[in-house]
Each structure stands twice: as C-alpha cells, then as structure tokens.
Structure 1
Amino acid sequence: MSSFVRPDDRTTEEPLDDAPAPPSTPSLAAALRRGLVGSLVAAMLATLVLEVGTLGIFMHWVGDLFLGGAFFVDVLVLWVVIGFLWAVLGRLAWSIALVSVTTVVVAIANLVKMQYREEPVYPSDIDFLREPEFLGSMVSPVLLVAAVLLVVAVLLGVLRLVARIERRYPRPRLRTLSRDHVLLLLGLRLGVGVLTGVLLVQAAHFNQPGNMWRGLYEASGKEWRYWNQKTNYRSHGFGGGFLFNMPVDAMAKPKGYDAEEMAEIAQRYERVAAQVNAGRTGSLDDTNVVIVLSESFTDPTDLDGFRLDHDPIARTRARMAGTTSGHMLAQMYGGGTANMEFETLTGQSLGLFRPQMLSPYQMLVPAHDDYPSAVGWFRGQGHDVIAVHPYQVGMYKREQVYQRFGFQDFVHDTTLRETQRIDDNPYISDRSAFDEVLTQIGEHDKPLMVNLVTMQNHIPVDGNYHDPVRVTGAGDGEDEKIGQYARGLEHTDEALDQFLGALQKSPEKTIVLFYGDHLPGIYNSSVKHANKGLSLYRTPFFVWSNQPGQNVPRTLPTTSPAFFLPLLYDVANAPMPPYLAMLETVRRHVSAIQQGRLLDGSGEQVKESALDQQSAKPARRHASGAVRLLDRQTLRGGPDVARSSRRMTGIGPNSAKSAKKLLQSTAW
C-alpha cells in the first residue's frame, strides 16, 4: 500500500563510488501488494497475541481453534480493522502499530481478568476505564509494573519498526505521483474505507439475524457456549467471543405475549397472593428492611483441597441455624457483584435475559428514566430508602442506577461517617459500614429500607492482615492468600454479630437479609479441580428478624437472589404483593436460575426439557413478568399490557402516589 512505496530518485548527480546505489523504485502495484501482504501478516500476529491472552496455558484448545476456523475469521476481523485505519490515517505502518499495541494491552487485560474472575474481557468492560484506581487495585503492584513495562517495550519496538519501514519505504507525496496514480490511490483509500466501515458496522450488530460475521463463526457448526464465557472465547476465538457479547436487546419477547396474556397472569397471581396472605398477620409497613450484600462472603469450610485451623464464620453459622437460611447460587466465580444486587432488588434473574446482557447495571438500567424495583415498592409504602456502599460511586454506574431505582440518598466512601480500615486492608471495614446503617436507622423517623453493599473482602487479599488464619494443604504458595481471606471473613463475622446484636436491643422493628455475592478469585487450579459442580458458585444467606417468634429454623435448597424478597415477607409473616407471590411460586418449582443451568425445587440440577409441566409453567410466567419490567409500555405492548402488568408487578420507583391510588397495599 502507499506507505510501502519507494520514492522516485529525480536527482541527476552521480552517486559516490563508495555509496550504495539507491534501490529501484517499485511500481505502485508492487507497493500495494507489499502492503496487502504486510497488513495480513500483522493481522495474523495480532490475532495470535489475543488468542494467547485467552488460551493461557490451556494449549489443548489450540487444535479446536485452528481446525474450527475461528482463528482465521479473527484474522479477517483484525485485517478489516487495519484496512479501515489505513483508509482514515493514510499511513499503513501507523495503522499496524496502533492495532499491535492495542492487542497487547487487551491480551494482558484478558489474562489478568481470566486469572481473578474466570471470565474474559467484554465490550462492556470499557466502562471500567473511568475507574483507573479500582483497576489498579485489582492486581499486585509487581504485576502492574510488569504489564506496563511490557506495553512500553512493545510500543517502543513497534515505533522503531515503523520508523525503519518508513525510512525504507517512505510514504509517497502526492505531488511525486502521476495524476492517474493519485486518483487511483485516493479512490482505493475511499473504497477500502467504505468497505471496511460497512464490515465493521456489521460486526457491531453481530447478534442480529443473518449477520455475515456471525455466519462465518458458525460455519464450523460449534455452538455458542454462553453459559461459560471462558469456554466460549476459547472455542470461537477472542474475536468471536468478544463480538458475541456486543450489546443486544435485553430479552426475547415471550411467545403469546400480549395484553390478554398479561391480564391473565395478573389475575392468576392476584388470586395466589390472596390465598397466601389470608392467614398472615404481620407487616413490613412499620419495619426497617436492611439488605446486606457482603462482598465475597463465603463459607471456605465447604471447599475441599485445603484445611483451616478454625471456622472463620462460626457466629454467622449459628445465626443461620436459627432462622431461614441456605445457599445462594452465584452467576459467576470471582465476580458479578452488581448482577447479584440487581437480581435481589428487582426479582429478575439474569438467566431470563439474553446471554449478552452481562451487566444490567451498565447495559440496561441507565437507559431508562426509572426502573421498577423493591426500592420503589418500599418507598411507595412509606419507607425512606437509602443505599450505602463504602467505595467509589462510579463502579458499575451505581450512582445512575440508584437514581433510576429511586433511592433518596447514596452514602459512599466520601460521605460515610466512619472510614476505618483493618491493618493494611485498603478497603473500608464492614464494621464501619454496619455502624453507618445503625446511625441511619437512628436518624430517621420513618421506617428505613437500606441496601448495603460492603467492600472489606474484595480482592486483592494479599498482605491485608497481620494475623492470617492458618491454612494448610492448598499448595502452590496459596495457603497464605487463603489465610488472609479467611481472616477478613472472621472480621466480617464479628462485625455482623455485633450489628445484629445492636438491632436486637433496638426498640425499632428490623428485618435483615444477608448474603454473599460470589467466591473470591483466589483459588488455584488444584482447589478448583477438587471442587467440581456448584461448589465454587455457592454462598451463604439468611433472613433474620429482631422480633420475637419470627426466626424459625428453616434450611432452603440452593436458590437465586431473584427469589430473596419473598423470604423477607415469609419471615415477617407479612402479606406479599402478587409479583412476589409469583416469584415464590417459581422458587418452589425452580429454586435457582442461571444462564445454562436450572435447579429444581429440591436444589438439584435439571434440564429445562426435563421440567414437568407444573414446574415449567411458573418459570415461563416469571419470564413474562420480567419482560414487563424492561419497558414502561411493556416492550411497546401498549397501555393495556402495561396496565394489567402493574396490577401484578406494581410501579416505577418514583410513583408513590400512583401506587396508593392504583394498588393500595397489594401489588409490587
């Protein structure tokens, strides 16, 4: 291409005897051929870098990647990117340099994310670039410095290579070319720009029916393994996996979805709610509701592959034994905090969304003026609603999301009254977070609904505490890391026990939902290998009340956080709205829903095709109800659909007056 054209030698001076003779000027066609080959080779090398960043040490995937053809489609994608940049910049060498450096950065990010969260880089991760401090805290300083040095080395190497190429094959000046060649070159750039631009637009709409790029990746016949994105990327290549996760509509429209169907669903669950509520004498109208998502709170004694010298969550275990409790099924290992929070507050399971809906907080909720949730319901019932998160407001777009949900106040790292850390832990302690909740309860005359998301046990855990729990058997030098994490759990265990003790002495009625969001990404391959199945996706939860007689020992099958809210009403013996009656009906038949995974009413894994009609029907109802919440006009279903849906699921977060008028105290 143009940057590979040798300049014409128009001087008439004879070269010196000891000077090398200037090389002959190749034709424009030869230069273009050289550029074509050079850019293709660059695309292949860049693709290889991305695949290594995805495959890591699992080289047995290489055969599948090459034989299936995904590697070559990935090469084509990057070749198109290089072509587009050349058309825009007019300098092929710089286009190759830009793609090369970018792929190295992405490959490093992919390796790090795979290590800590067992998932690859997604298109939506670009939002995290706004939080460099958080990204820096995720990895050790040594690894961060090494990554920066590697990127700098690659950048310098590429710049040097570009300089050599441009010295040997300088970019031609248009005035040195004939008029025909100028027109040819400009026409070629325009044509390449238009063609590659169209192809890139196609790539951005990867999930639309009939998409050309998706067809190329599917030519091998391999299925998209959306339930395991790590495998998805490794079998379809980084490019295929990345494009598969481009933004799409949040949810498919259920079969038979219309105003009549929604009216029937609303009537059905109004009747179910009436039956459930007939014998209930309690209430949450005058009760503080505290929902605690405890960052990375798990039970390490449930795992095989290592031994702790004592139980770090003994107090929590005792609380669980005396009330409604069990295990939650996390959507991911090592991450997914905001997704578990979303499920809890909305009653919508990510298993019902399209698999590309990786983070509703980032990809869905901010696009709406408001979004129905428990926040709007409790606010409509007379509660003050407050969010507490002892960290930066920008993570997962929480500030925007909380506004859409209808929170009246958001207490975060810079507005929290206590900001104590324990030993060398960089995160605010759980004790400080719990004290903030107690203070808020004391300051409000109205009953309070508080959503607390803690940070104390967030990774990295290395070197946080002076006295890690003694751990043996993990191998690979992991005992210290697990011991550090276990000590953090013990600090949470103590702080939680004191928090509940303070609530027990308080004259105000309070009910608490406590749950861990996911396991931390700290376990090595030997521990992971020793814990197959659901072990790496289960975290403890319980519902506790400070009112006499409400804490009845009950251990539930493994459940999804989407089904937590009805449990609050169960423990309080309070009448529940129809939407929660629907969730409770689903939970009894399908206790947990995950992308690619279902658990039946007893907590055993089951295929959807194996569900009996009685179990499958409420699950489909849940899907229809969840779709309703994605648009105030019910996916443009019109006011009749929205009206019948509100009868069951209720209102938006800022519609307290409408709630009283339309629903009184019986709907979500």
Structure 2
Amino acid sequence: MQKKFNFLGLLQFIFMIAAAFVVGFILNFAQTHDLIFTKQIVFQTNVNTYILTVIILFLIYLGLYGLFNRFFVSSAIYFVFFAIYAVADYLKVKYRSEPILPSDLSMLKNIKGLLSMVTPKIITVVVIFLIILVVIFGLLEKFVGKKMLHFNHITRLIFIALAAISIGSFYTASDNNSMTYKVLAKAGYTNYASNINQSANSNGPMLTFLGNMYVDVMDKPNGYSKEKMASIVKKYQKTAKQINRKRSNNDLSKQTLIFVLSESFSDPSRVPNIKLNQDPIPNIRNIKQNTTSGLMMSSGYGGGTANMEYMTLTGLALNQFSDSLQSPYTQVVNKQEDPINIANSFKTSSAIHPFHGNFYNRNSVYEKFGFKTFKNIDTTGSLKLKYTDVLPQMEYVSDQSAYKDTLEQVNSVNGGQFINLVTMQNHMPYTNNYTNNPYKVTGSGVSDSSRSQVENFSQSLNYTDNSTKEFLEELDKLDKPVTVVWYGDHLPGIYDGDDIYKYNVQEHQTDYFIYSNKYARKNGTGTTKLDDNTKVTDPNGFIPLALKQMDQKVTPYYALLTKVQEEVPAMAKNIDEGTNNLYVNEDGKSVDKLTKQQQKIVDDYKLVQYDLTAGKGYTKAVINK
C-alpha cells in the first residue's frame, strides 16, 4: 500500500513538471505566433530562460497545491489562469505588438469593457474550453481526489513560500546589484527595454511580465540639482519674454481649447504596400490642406491611447521616461500631487470619453489633473452623456454623438474652457460587416485574413470624416473663440503584411490638424494656418503649437516646449533595439544624431521632466507661471 501511494505521488509531480514545460511552450507560442520560431527559442537559442520559466511555473503550481491541498482543484485553477493569460497575450501581441504587462492589470477593473474589444467567436471558444477544463478536473477531484497526495501545514506553507519568493524576487529584477538580476543575467535574460515585444519574444512573456513589476519612473539626468534647475527656470523665463513680445493674448482661460483624440485615426493609404479604391477621408484631407496640420509621431502601434493622451495633456515625452515604464497614467500620475497639465491653465475644464471611465485609471487621473467634470458611459445625473448613438453594425458610441456632447459642453460655459475628448468609434475589433461597404483594399501590406478589417476600418474612417467636418462647421457658428487640436493616437494593429521594423516611421505616423473657428480667426485669437515646423510633430508638441495658433503668451514651461517643438525633430518611443528614442525630421526621416544645440534643448527638457515627475520638484512652483 505504501509503495502504491509513493508511486502515485511521483506521477503527480511528474505531471506537474511536464505541465510546466507545456505551459511554458504555449506561452512562448502565444507571444511569437510562430511554431518554428518558438521551437528555436525554446530548444536552441534561449534554453536557459525557458528552463527558468518552467521552474517558476512549477513553483506556482506547487504554491497552488500548498494553498488548496487538492491536486485537481489546484490543477484547474493553474490551467484556467494560464489559458486566459496565453489568449490575452496572443491577442495583445496581435493587435498592439506588445506583451501583457503589469501596468495592464489596472484594466481588470472593467472586465466588460475588455471583453467588448474581443470578437464574440474568440470569447465563445475560450469559455467553452475553460468550462470543459473545469468539468474534467471537477470530476477527477470528485472520483479520484481522495487518492492524491495531501500535505501537512508546514509542507503547505513551504510550497506557498517558494511560489511567493519566486515571484516576489522579481521586484528587484531591474537592480544591477540584486541577486535576481545576476541570476537572470546568468540565464541569458536580456531586457530589450526599448522594444518590450522583442524582450518578450526572447525571454518569454512571463519573465518579461515579472521583470517589469517594478520600474523607476525616470533615470536621473546628469547634473540634476537645485541650482541647475534654478538656472533652467531663469533661462526659459527669458525665452518666454522673447516669445511673448510677438504675441497678443495673455489670458488663455478666456479662450476655448478642445483636444480631440480620434481613436485609431490614421490614413490607411499612407501605410506602405496598401492601396484603396477610393479616399475614405476627403473632408479631413481638405481640412488639413487649409489649416495647421501634419503628421504626428505616435509612441504606439495598435494601442497606447492613454500614453498619447498623457503626452498631449502634459507636454512630457514618453521616450524620456525609464525604458521599462509603460503607462504614465497608471505608474506616474497617481503618485503625484497637482501634476502639470494644460487643464491647469483654465478656470473650467472637462473631459468626455464615451466608454468606461476607469480604463487606464482615467477617473482618478482626470481628478489629479484638476478636471472639473468627466462624462463617460458610466456617469449618471447631470454628468450623463446625452448622446450615445452607435453606427450600424458598430458597438462603440459614434464620433457624431461624441461631438454633440462636446458641443453641449462648449455651449454650457459662457467664457473660455478646456475640453478633452477621447473618442471610441474606431476602436478595434474591425470585424463588423457593413452593408455594401464600398472600400476595397489591395496590396501586400495586409494579409488576406485581415483585408476585410482594413476595409471595415476605412468605412469607419469615412463616418469620422463626415462628422468631423460637421463638428467644425458647428464651431464656426459660435460667437466665441474656439481652437481644436485634433489627432489620431496610433495606427490600428491590422497591417500584418508589413514588417513594422522596416517601416518603423511610417507605421507610427498618424494625422493631426489644429483648427481655429471663424470667430477666433476674425478677432485675433486664432490663426488660419501655421507652416513652420508643422509637417511632423509629436503629442508633446501640441500644447506649444496650439498656443502659437491662438497667438497666446507662454509660461517658461511652455517656452521650453516651444523650443523643443520648433528646433528638435519629432520624438517617439522607439521599437528598435539599442535606443529608446526615435527622432524624425520634417522630411519623415529618422535622425540618428542631434546637433549640439538640439541636444542642449533635449537635456534641459529631460531635466525639467525628471524634476516634475521623479525628482524634487524644484521648478514646480514657478516654471508654469
């Protein structure tokens, strides 16, 4: 009897070890989407990191066993969890070209919203698979569970402790002097921080996830001190005076400024190896020709909306933060008191987002930013969205409805105000079937399986094109100065026929324009068209461009942003190995090296950004006054 018991226990541990190997392989495949590439990583080039992943997976399994002391219950939880993780990572890589990261966990507050971004077919298949899995392990626990190993309290605590230590030790993974860092380095773990997806391809998604549990906000720049920051403030106080001599308006709060983040908006005809049979955005193309406009360098592909929004509202650059910091909204703003942002320049400010308000912690972020109101699909009473219509065959609130709510907000205040609108109409997935969709896509930039998605996306853009034209026409009827900064945040992750590394710049360029209504242009509070340094910019360049468009005087901080926008190539977070910084000039070409003057401005910019986010805040009280 004793021998039989030991043999059964041995089989259990063999099964657990085998399961760890299989789950590790599946996670790597979910990350790479390529069976051959996965085999090469697991069995040839990255064996050590794979073995390390397997060890951690086994210890997690062991920890669950210690926690529940029921083999099949622990197994059910183990396989269900990693099945969901594998599917989530697979989908995020497919649509956003990056793995699941710790910063994504904040979005678990709204499971309903997350599921709305996944096709019903995928949800159905996954749910059926999980139900089958749970039923099988449930039956095994009922009929065989009593025969499995059961442990005393001390052994269970040891198992739980081993799992906790294996995960918790990664908290120091970024510390060069820590034991975890040394073990990871010995195993061949390489953190391609400037390209998080490449890091996950090489190390596996789980090690990459654990390795990013703790991140520094920003590396301390050379020369940072109270004295240095005081000299920078004086420098840009002088710069502000020089700029302000040529500008007429000195009270920004008297004007109305609207930032419109148009979800996933980008011209598909500009994507390499893509050709459309007709133009889906003739109105916006015409608007761009006749007002301040150009291309925006995005720091995301297929996602990263909140990061572009953060840069636009604060003027701070994502690429200058720590290499491993992935989400300022969830990893920076909530730790700050009165974070710097454009809303601070207005007596009245509001945000509108026709989706769930807790995505990317927007509820708390907007409160930190000082927004007086935030309307979203969860708000009620006086803050309830008035317009929530959706387009035929679509699931998100239409741009037309979002614009109507924005116009309501514009008209609700007599004086000036700031409004931040983040739309949802063109959010993934693009699997809807429009009736008689006129758009046809050819070219190798998209696979046959994704071609219909680009065609659906093009039809959605056409709806945006028409409603945006109508929105600006309504603003032109108002007897108050209104300026709109309108931009797409990133390309949708549907151009799977192009190599994103080969077309790095093109696949990170969206469209933008800055429009002042008739009243503003007539009364000297708005410009028709700026031409200097507008062809290519970045989200952190929108505040200085808007102030220039409005002929508005600047603070020392906005004087610094003006110098950055005018004299430094547009910047973005790079996906290429070796550097976190992608600089792109007016010709749309990447720049390998900045001039001495440009580097001086960037150095000042980094010092100020560090001081305002991770440093002592020496400049906070004076630089934006």
1:237 aligns with 2:209: no
- C-alpha contact 2:76 2:133 (8 A) present in aligned 1: no
Report the residue type matching 1:311 in the other structure.
Answer: D
Q: Closer, same or farther in 2 for the Cα pair 1:136/1:186, shift >3 Å?
A: closer
Within 5 A, what are the aligned runs for 1:499-514?
A: 499-514=471-486
User: Retained in 1: the 8 A contact 2:500–2:507?
Assistant: no
CA distance in 2, matches of 1:431, 1:409: 21
Match of 2:538 in 1: 560
CA-based RMSD of the aligned residues comes to 2.5
C-alpha contact 1:321 1:553 (8 A) present in aligned 2:
no
C-alpha spacing 1:258/1:58, structure 2 compared with 1 (3 Å): farther
1:287 and 2:270 equivalent?
no
Between Structure 1 and Structure 2, how many residues are aligned? 600
Partner in structure 2 of residue 654 of structure 1:
none
What does residue range 246-645 of structure 1 map to in structure 2 within 5 Å? 246-283=213-250, 284-379=252-347, 384-413=348-377, 414=379, 415-463=384-432, 465-473=434-442, 474=446, 476-523=448-495, 525-527=496-498, 532-546=503-517, 547-548=521-522, 550-554=527-531, 556-587=534-565, 588-595=567-574, 596-602=580-586, 603-607=588-592, 610-630=593-613, 635=615, 637=616, 642=618, 644-645=619-620
Q: Could you say what secondary structure the match of 1:80 adopts?
A: helix
Q: Identify if the C-alpha distance between structure 1 residues 164 and 590 changes in structure 2 by more than 3 Å, giving closer, same or farther.
A: farther
Distance in 2 (alpha carbons) for counterparts of 1:105 and 1:331: 27
Among residues 126, 132, 152, which one is paired with 2:131 in the alignment?
Answer: 152
Cα pair 2:399 2:423 within 8 Å, conserved: yes
In 2, the alpha carbon distance for the partners of 1:419 and 1:187 equals 57
Q: Find the residue that maps to 1:450 and give its secondary structure.
A: strand
224-233 or 286-295, larger mean C-alpha shift: 224-233
* CA apart distance, 1:483: 2.0
Distance 1:412 1:618, change over 3 A: same
Paired amino acid for 1:43: A
TM-score, normalised on structure 2?
0.89
Q: CA deviation at 1:527?
A: 4.5
Conservation of the 8 A alpha-carbon contact between 1:293 and 1:341 = yes
* AA at the equivalent of 2:24: T
Question: How big is each residue's C-alpha offset from its partner over 1:123-162, in whole Å with a ceiling of 9 and x where there is no partner?
Answer: 2222222212222211211121011112222333444555
Structure 1 Cα separation of the partners of residues 13 and 183 of structure 2: 22
Distance 1:146 1:542, change over 3 A: same
Q: Distance in 1 between matches of 2:472 and 2:241?
A: 33
**Secondary structure of 1:59's aligned partner:** helix
CA 142–32 in structure 1, closer or farther in 2 if over 3 Å, else same: closer
3-state SS in 2 of match to 1:199: helix
Q: Deviations over 1:438-489 (max 9, x none)?
A: 2222221121111111111111222263342321325515443222211111
Partner of 2:622: 647
Q: In structure 1, what residue type is equivalent to 2:371?
A: F
Residue identity opposite 1:272 in structure 2 = T
Judged with a 3 Å threshold, the aligned counterparts in structure 2 of structure 1 residues 604 and 581 are, in CA distance, closer, same or farther, namely: farther
Report which of the two structures shows the higher radius of gyration computed on alpha carbons.
1
Would the aligned equivalents of 1:246 and 1:356 in 2 still touch at CA under 8 Å? no
After TM superposition, the structure 1 stretch with the greater mean CA deviation from structure 2, 248-257 or 72-81, is 248-257
Shift of 1:164: 6.6
CA drift of 1:46 comes to 2.2
Deviation at 1:73, TM superposition (A): 0.8
For 1:196 and 1:480, locate their aligned partners in 2 and report how far apart those are by CA, in whole Å: 45
CA distance in 1, matches of 2:417, 2:438: 37
Contact 1:217 1:236 in 2 (8 A): no
Structure 1 residue matching 2:351: 3-state secondary structure: strand
* Other-structure match for 2:117: 138
Distance across 2 between alignment mates of 1:27 and 1:480:
59
- The one-letter code of the counterpart of 1:521 is G
Provide the C-alpha distance between the structure 2 equivalents of 1:92 and 1:222, rounded to a whole number of angstroms. Answer: 32
SS in 2 for 1:567: helix
Flag the 1:166–1:222 CA change in 2: closer, same or farther, 3 A: closer
Structure 2: runs of 5+ lacking an equivalent: 575-579
Q: Contact 1:297 / 1:519 at 8 angstroms: preserved in 2?
A: yes
| Counterparts of residues 79-228 of structure 1 (less than 5 Å) | 79-160=58-139, 166=145, 168-169=147-148, 171=150, 186-219=153-186, 221=188, 223-228=190-195
Residue type at the aligned position of 2:22: L
Contact 1:131 1:394 in 2 (8 A): yes
1:203/1:33 CA distance change after superposition, 3 Å: farther
Q: Provide the secondary structure at the position in 1 that maps to 2:492.
A: coil
Moved more, 501-510 or 471-480: 471-480
Q: Structure 2 counterpart of 1:248, which letter? A: V
Per the alignment, do residues 37 and 311 of structure 1 end up closer, same or farther by CA in structure 2, a change over 3 Å counting?
A: same
In percent, how many aligned pairs have the same letter?
28
* 1:56–1:558 Cα change, 3 Å: same
8 Å CA contact 1:54–1:238 kept in 2: the answer is: yes
Post-superposition shift, 1:402?
0.7
1:57 is aligned, of 13, 18, 34, to: 34
Counterpart of 2:194, as a letter, is: W
Contact 1:421 1:428 in 2 (8 A): yes
Supply the AA of the counterpart residue of 2:375: V
Contact 1:83/1:193, CA 8 A, preserved across alignment: yes
The answer as to whether partners of 1:207 and 1:246 remain within 8 angstroms in 2 is no
- Structure 1 221/272 Cα, relative in aligned 2: closer, same or farther at 3 Å? farther
Which sections of structure 1, spanning at least 5 residues, go unmatched?
Answer: 1-23, 173-184, 651-666
Alignment-mate amino acid for residue 501 of structure 1: E
Q: Does the aligned pair in 2 maintain the 1:328–1:541 contact within 8 Å?
A: yes
CA distance in structure 1 between the aligned counterparts of 2:211 and 2:424, rounded to whole angstroms: 31
Q: 1:301 to 1:193 in 2, by over 3 A?
A: closer
Q: Distance in 2 between matches of 1:480 and 1:169?
A: 51
SS in 1 for 2:476: helix
More displaced 10-residue stretch of structure 1: 449-458 or 81-90:
81-90
SS of the residue corresponding to residue 583 of structure 2 reads strand
- How far 1:92 sits from its partner (Å)? 4.5
Deviation readout 1:264-308 (Å, 9 max, x if unpaired): 111111111111211212453421101110111111111233322
User: Contact conserved, 1:625 with 1:645, CA < 8 A, in 2?
Assistant: no
After superposition, what is the alpha-carbon deviation per residue over 1:208-253, rounded to whole angstroms, capped at 9, x for unaligned? 3433333333225563222322221110112221112213231122
**Match for residue 577 of structure 2?**
none
**Structure 2: which amino acid aligns with 1:309?**
N
Q: Describe the shift of the 1:58–1:344 C-alpha distance in structure 2 as closer, same or farther (beyond 3 A).
A: farther
TM-score (norm 1): 0.84
The one-letter amino acid of 1:617's match is K
- Counterpart of 1:18 in structure 2 is none
